[in-house]
Structure 1
């Protein structure tokens, strides 16, 4: 598809997202009801690449980003178009630019219901539903002792979680986690001195996000979430999970974090989600764009 697209009486061209005023990106996401603050956009521009659709006077009509997680795998996110440009095919054009520029064959994304048909038509396949659990933290249920030791992990020791995360996520995404860690509080669960699970908490969109949470079972995931939540009563918190039911999902609801929205995890190339009964699993996402 061409490097430009005509929208009625004007033409849009692709421009590197790093060259655009962050406040224009904030206005774009706010226009579709997404919570990203300028600081959130700045963070995402540091860890990923992207393009924006702009007209001849620099107005932004759309965006799309991709995040290289490993040599052969990337996640796609922040695919946003204004209502005016979406009706004229700007979303499809933006995705064509991403697929051309992102030089990997294995991709994943989390699709809104509105964008789901577009991604299906581009060869992405449905894998799972993501539940955005959010709300004001109420009382956190009393838990028994963790099976192992829970504690804070300094950023300088971030390498200790990489093996556990790689098993759960499927690839080694060290650069992304290292950047996340700079603004996160990190809890790790150790058994026999080995990290078997971890959780991160950071500010996003005017609230606190807990994620990723990587653990081998619901009980460990609950302990890793509770480590943060027990100090956050009355705070607005968000946890994105693919757990529709079971102990972890029930625990979030008990804490006041009910599902308020869903998206759909999709992949192109090899399958993204490959859960094993004994290996670590991503119980909470780092974010819809980072997965």
Structure 2
């Protein structure tokens, strides 16, 4: 069998989607397209057929995510995943690289110097129960994000996780429903994006300073999604994860957070990441 690698092109998205369907991953074609538009990838080919994929997102040049690592189930164990990882990591020299690994993939990533540093809880429900919005502190407000908010949101995101993603948040203003929580001075204290993803809706990225206030903002989104499929991916160690479970979003998977390089450390008292964009994109 002769396998070749080349950069991923938009025309490859349909075959990437088909590979993810083999694994019963929930991604839609639209989710693949959005992921590719904000990153870059490699595909493995047998003849003209895509038999493997990998994508990366060098968010700002210092920290990168790797994800959507898939090999056709008929051809696993033949070194294709290793070849794809070698190819994508060669484009990320000098970056601290982060990914979320399944148990099946963890061993491969360890061979490339990745170390497990945590766990993500994938919360979801196929039918969200009726939930009430929460009362806000006096003078605090929830409102839709606007283009004028992008610099503040981008700065909040970078302080929380080290990733510089202005183009992503500009996209989410159009493709999603980002909302911000402001304090009595009008300063943004949290942001959460509701958007179509997979089998229904995802809420993420979710960023903020105080967990209670972040719950206020997320509850605002959830109060308008009764009966819908809803998903949130968050750090397993946060009390926020238990709060989501109490809202009816069960933990259905727990991928391992792995890093090659120096793990990001947010400043004490600074903002945190409470919910991911996706497990692949961070």
Q: For this structure pair, what is the TM-score category when the shorter chain's length is used for normalisation?
A: over 0.9
Inter-CA distance 143–19: structure 2 relative to 1 (3 Å threshold): closer
Counterpart-to-counterpart distance in 2, 1:226 and 1:186: 14
Please tell me whether the aligned partners of residues 152 and 188 of structure 1 are also in contact (alpha carbons under 8 angstroms).
yes
Question: Partner residue of 1:114?
Answer: 104
Please tell me whether the aligned partners of residues 64 and 76 of structure 1 are also in contact (alpha carbons under 8 angstroms).
yes
Counterpart check, 1:256 vs 2:241 = no
Q: Which TM-score applies when normalising by structure 2?
A: 0.93
Question: Partner residue of 1:267?
Answer: 259
Please tell me whether the aligned partners of residues 187 and 200 of structure 1 are also in contact (alpha carbons under 8 angstroms).
yes
Counterpart check, 1:180 vs 2:145 = no
Counterpart check, 1:39 vs 2:61 = no
Question: Partner residue of 2:233?
Answer: 240
Counterpart-to-counterpart distance in 2, 1:171 and 1:62: 27
Please tell me whether the aligned partners of residues 214 and 284 of structure 1 are also in contact (alpha carbons under 8 angstroms).
yes
Cα drift, residue 141 of structure 1: 4.8
Question: Partner residue of 1:29?
Answer: 20
Inter-CA distance 275–231: structure 2 relative to 1 (3 Å threshold): same
- Counting matched residue pairs gives 279
Counterpart check, 1:158 vs 2:150 = yes
Any idea what SS the aligned residue of 1:227 has? helix
Gaps of 5+ in 1: 1-9
* Equivalent of residue 220 in structure 2, options 213, 216, 227: 227
Question: Partner residue of 2:65?
Answer: 75
Any idea what SS the aligned residue of 1:51 has? strand
> Which deviates further from its counterpart, 108-117 or 10-19?
10-19
Counterpart-to-counterpart distance in 1, 2:5 and 2:259: 24
Gaps of 5+ in 2: none
Any idea what SS the aligned residue of 1:60 has? strand
Cα drift, residue 288 of structure 1: 0.8
What are the within-5 Å matches in structure 2 for residues 115-130 of structure 1?
Answer: 115-130=105-120
Counterpart-to-counterpart distance in 2, 1:78 and 1:182: 24
Q: CA RMSD in A?
A: 1.7
Cα drift, residue 20 of structure 1: 3.4
Question: Partner residue of 1:3?
Answer: none
Please tell me whether the aligned partners of residues 161 and 266 of structure 2 are also in contact (alpha carbons under 8 angstroms).
no
